[in-house]
Amino acid sequence: MFVPNSIRAAVLAALSLSFKSQALAQEPAPPVPHAPEVPVVATTPLQPAAAPTPVINLPTAAPRPFAEIVRGAVHLPGFLSLYQKEEKVWIELRPEQFDRPMFMTVNMPNGIGERGIYGSQMGFSRVVVFHRIGNLVQVVAKNTEFAAKAGTPQALTVQQGFSDSLQAIAPVVSGPNPQNKAILIEANTLLFGDIPGMTTRLEAAFRLMYAIDPRNSSFQTIRSDDGMTGFQVNAHYFVPRIPAPPAVVAPQMAAAVPHPPTTLPDPRSMFLGFYYSFMPLPEHAMRGRRADDRIGHFVSTSEDYSDDVTPTTAVHLVERWRLEKKDPAAELSEPVQPIVYWIDANVPEKYRESVRQGALAWNAAFERIGFKNAIVVRQQTGKDRFDTMDARHASIRWFVGSDAGFAIGPSQVDPRSGEILDADIAMSDVFARGVRRVIGEDAMDLSAPPADGGAARCDYMQESATEMGFAMDVLEARGELEMGSPEADAVAQAYAKSVIMHEVGHTLGLRHNFRSSTIYTLKQLQDPEFTKKNGMAGSVMDYTPFNLALKGEKQGEYVSSTLGPYDYWAIEYAYKPIAPEQEKETLARIASRSSAQELAFGTDQDANGFNMDPDVNVFDLGSDPLSYFQRRLTISRELWDRVENRMLKPGDSYETLRRSFEYGFQQFVRTLPVVVKYVGGVTYLRDHAGTGRATFTPVPLPRQREALRMVTDSLFRADSFRFSPAMLSRLGSDHFAQVGRPDVSVGGRVLGLQSAALSQLMSDAVAIRLVDSQEKLDAGKPGLGLDELYSTLQNAVWSELKTGKDIGAMRRNLQREHLKRVVAALLRVSPLMPADVRSLQRENALELQRQLSVAMARPISREARAHLSESYETLGQALKASMLRAGA
């Protein structure tokens, strides 16, 4: 196809920021003929202040002869044949390879160790084609989300309606190969652009306009065989200058001011590693298996416009590996191709056995459906020349970062069928020593509790690391565990295995199941023999906390050691061999067991959002979550009591006391927002017709009152938080890693907890749910009303008005926060807020104003009297404004 030069120039100009290249000025690396992996080393000095020329120079004369370009080059035959000479790499493209769909992955083996830019991370995958326009070759990502039956008018409509995306471009640099008509493009030009979109990620992380620098980028290794062609790129990103920080920053805005990277020798320059893989799609797409919303699988979703009679165009296919029996007739058979996980060479030797056991634990679920050794684990050694970041080796890798404390288990799939083609589990250094430093070095903001239910993606981030740190501090304070001891190491090993089980589950296609922790009683969880057989929850896909007993109780297993019943069920649905003609009926029969207690399921969206099911939570245990949360708060106060009385050895750092104190607060940060979910809470089940259970059920009134009482007793009572000055004066910080003020502000931490709870309890969403709940209750059955909620909160927050006691600083701060929300209800115009909220809060405001008037006449401190006077005046102005607006 001929494209006029004017049009081609316009296209290139529009894409110049993302797709650009310039000849590399490098000293040559010695070629290795026909090596499976060829290193290419860049030696050009870094020039972060010099911007590369954002232009692709299209040839103006006829391309050079093929033989002339490859003369003296090392040839790597394979899926895409490569030629390498010094720093240059060329890709040979034969005519039949153009417009042929193939699988491309972009992973990130190297990062900078902060703000989410970490090494050993799986990136994205796309179905792409090499498309030629004259002397220009494009890598085009095909739009696989929308489809229709090939050859139909609907297929043409879909093609016209949805666009593909351009990923990279490079000019043709050679004439055709006389033998096979192939042409050459320069891989340096093709792959040294910002295909991963890292400039946007860097801008989001640091608010700096980093740019890709092709001149100082290079190939680390290249590899090609019949099954895959891979390129590891050492990509240079730079910014010409770092802006000076603001001359004056308001204290409340200090945390929001972004700062440049802190882990680099020079924050103007960084090298990021990307592994690009190109491989053929499976010749025959695996038969897709329809997903069922009662079971938590990751799904490949496409929109099928082939007909207009189905209720929806969406098609959801379970993401799963291709498993086929070698002997289909055998009850138990090895698979034709097992699921192989490679433990990367960077995994510390001391954890490799725990990692192996965590992955192999899933074989028990596969054996139940007829597969022997469905999962195989291998250790990468120095003799293995491949990089586990390529698209052909599922892996388990370690990584470190200055602010990293999480594990993640992503996968990449064939969008045609949902077949998982690759997976790379990334595990950060959060065990034993790692968790001991997380609380101090990550500058946790304890005044800002996380969103209910945790993150939607799978990462343990601070949640998991601080959970282990809290448990170890409690056990150490009780004298049951000593850091560095064999017992502590055994706990860390057990924790490593449990996290790997969870992440391998993700790479097998399983989503989170945050309801599974409710199927066993706390008494059952205290029995280690029970949990070794049945698991600690219904699924290892839950976020289960350390199973800590109260002081004096029997201690069970600390962490999950085996799969739960839900895990066997989810694997059965996804992987059980089923004849095509029996599949629909068999899958329906498997899914129909969803109402069984041990198969309880609820995932991320059930833990968050408007419904906020109180039984779907991260880091809870037992059939009575409220009782569990009360136990956790009790253990937190136990830890604080031990901090009060703990005598350190001469020379010990006071930072150990500070860490324990912070861990206690972190439990309040995690626990109380979940308890608040019971107030106005609604249980949401995924049942289909036939179970006899309602989809939406309001939380029973006694449970809502119990939760409300727990919150008020823990947060809003006058004596909820009392610490001795002697203890607070000993809470020293790590002076080598200090962030922010060196001393502890108890008032700030307490106010953060209280403000978050008040915001949630007095929100429009809770008010709407309480009003709507009356519609879902049988006639005459009582529910928690808005009046009871608001009166309970007001009486607890302003309890000194009735007792006559003086009002301390922390209590005044709490009362101001409550007053802000009452005034907002009187003045704010919100289409979502039920009308009853304003009328009830007006009545409460009038009552509060009367109580303030009486209290001001009592003998109290000057600060307290000024506070009450100001509150009285604020309420008076708000009430007048409200009445005037209402037309009174």
| Helix axes 701-711 and 625-645, enclosed angle (nearest 10) | 20
DSSP letters for 743-760: S--HHHHHHHHHHHHHHH
Q: Which of 163-177, 294-308, 410-424, 647-661 has the lowest mean pLDDT?
A: 647-661
pLDDT value, residue 722: 85
User: Is residue 64 over pLDDT 80?
Assistant: yes
Structure tokens at 176: 């055709």
Residue 302 inside a domain? The answer is no
pLDDT value, residue 759: 94
Structure tokens at 465: 């690391």
**Is residue 560 within 8 Å of 354, Cβ to Cβ?**
no
d(CA 785, CA 788): 5
User: Is residue 71 over pLDDT 50?
Assistant: yes
User: Is residue 266 over pLDDT 80?
Assistant: yes
User: pLDDT class for 31, splitting at 50, 70, 90?
Assistant: very low
- Angstrom distances, CA of residue 577 to CA of 298, 375, 376: 19, 16, 19
Taking only the tens place, the pLDDT of each residue in 472-531 is 889 888 888 887 788 888 888 998 899 999 999 999 999 999 999 999 999 999 999 999
Extract long-range pairs of 872-881: CB within 8 Å, 24+ residues apart. Answer: 874/819, 874/823, 875/819, 875/822, 875/823, 875/845, 875/848, 875/849, 876/849, 878/822, 878/823, 878/826, 878/827, 878/845, 879/826, 879/842, 879/845, 879/846, 879/849, 881/826, 881/827
User: pLDDT class for 277, splitting at 50, 70, 90?
Assistant: very high
Q: What is the number of domains present in the chain?
A: 3
Our CA angle for 415, 418, 421, nearest 5°, is 85
List the domain range (segments joined by +) for residue 54.
5-242+261-280
Q: Could you tell me if 276 and 389 lie in one domain?
A: no
Residue 412 inside a domain? The answer is yes
Which of 374, 373, 377, 387 has the alpha carbon at shortest distance from 342?
Answer: 377
Q: What is the mean pLDDT of the chain?
A: 86
Sign of the torsion formed by the C-alpha atoms of 354, 358, 359 and 364:
positive
Q: Could you tell me if 746 and 845 lie in one domain?
A: no
Q: Could you tell me if 585 and 655 lie in one domain?
A: yes
Mean pLDDT over 376-386 rounds to 94
Mean pLDDT over 98-120 rounds to 96
pLDDT value, residue 35: 37
Question: Which ranges in 148-288 belong to alpha helices (H)?
Answer: 153-161, 187-191, 198-206
Q: Which of 12-26, 559-573, 766-780 has the lowest mean pLDDT?
A: 12-26
Residue 493 inside a domain? The answer is yes
Q: Which amino acid is at 478?
A: R
User: Is residue 867 over pLDDT 90?
Assistant: yes
User: Is residue 351 over pLDDT 70?
Assistant: yes
Q: Could you tell me if 270 and 371 lie in one domain?
A: no
d(CA 199, CA 207): 10
Mean pLDDT over 681-697 rounds to 91
Q: Could you tell me if 754 and 829 lie in one domain?
A: no
Q: Which of 706, 735, 760 is the last residue of a domain?
A: 760
Q: Could you tell me if 666 and 815 lie in one domain?
A: no
pLDDT value, residue 457: 47
Q: Could you tell me if 437 and 535 lie in one domain?
A: yes
Residue 859 inside a domain? The answer is yes
Residue 292 inside a domain? The answer is no
Which of 11, 304, 32, 4 has the alpha carbon at shortest distance from 154?
Answer: 304
Q: Could you tell me if 669 and 592 lie in one domain?
A: yes
pLDDT value, residue 255: 56
d(CA 456, CA 543): 12
Q: Could you tell me if 484 and 558 lie in one domain?
A: yes
* Dihedral angle computed from the Cα positions of residues 522, 526, 531 and 535, in that order, rounded to the nearest 10 degrees: 30
Q: Which residues contact 885 (CB under 8 A, 6 or more apart)?
A: 827
Which stretch of DSSP H or E encloses residue 833?
Answer: none
User: pLDDT class for 451, splitting at 50, 70, 90?
Assistant: very low
Q: Could you tell me if 499 and 606 lie in one domain?
A: yes
Q: Could you tell me if 822 and 748 lie in one domain?
A: no
User: Is residue 447 over pLDDT 50?
Assistant: no
Mean pLDDT over 438-453 rounds to 33
Structure tokens at 614: 């109180």
Q: Which of 280, 309, 326 is the last residue of a domain?
A: 280
Taking only the tens place, the pLDDT of each residue in 623-669 is 999 999 999 999 999 999 888 888 888 888 888 888 888 888 888 88
Residue 319 inside a domain? The answer is no
Q: Which of 733, 760, 787 is the last residue of a domain?
A: 760
pLDDT value, residue 672: 86
Q: What is the number of other CB atoms lying within 10 angstroms of the CB of residue 817?
A: 18
Coil, strand or helix: which one is 275?
strand
Our CA angle for 200, 201, 206, nearest 5°, is 100
The more confident residue out of 260 and 486 is 260
User: pLDDT class for 467, splitting at 50, 70, 90?
Assistant: confident
Residue 138 inside a domain? The answer is yes
Residue 546 inside a domain? The answer is yes
User: pLDDT class for 460, splitting at 50, 70, 90?
Assistant: very low
Q: Could you tell me if 104 and 16 lie in one domain?
A: yes
d(CA 136, CA 672): 60
The more confident residue out of 757 and 886 is 757
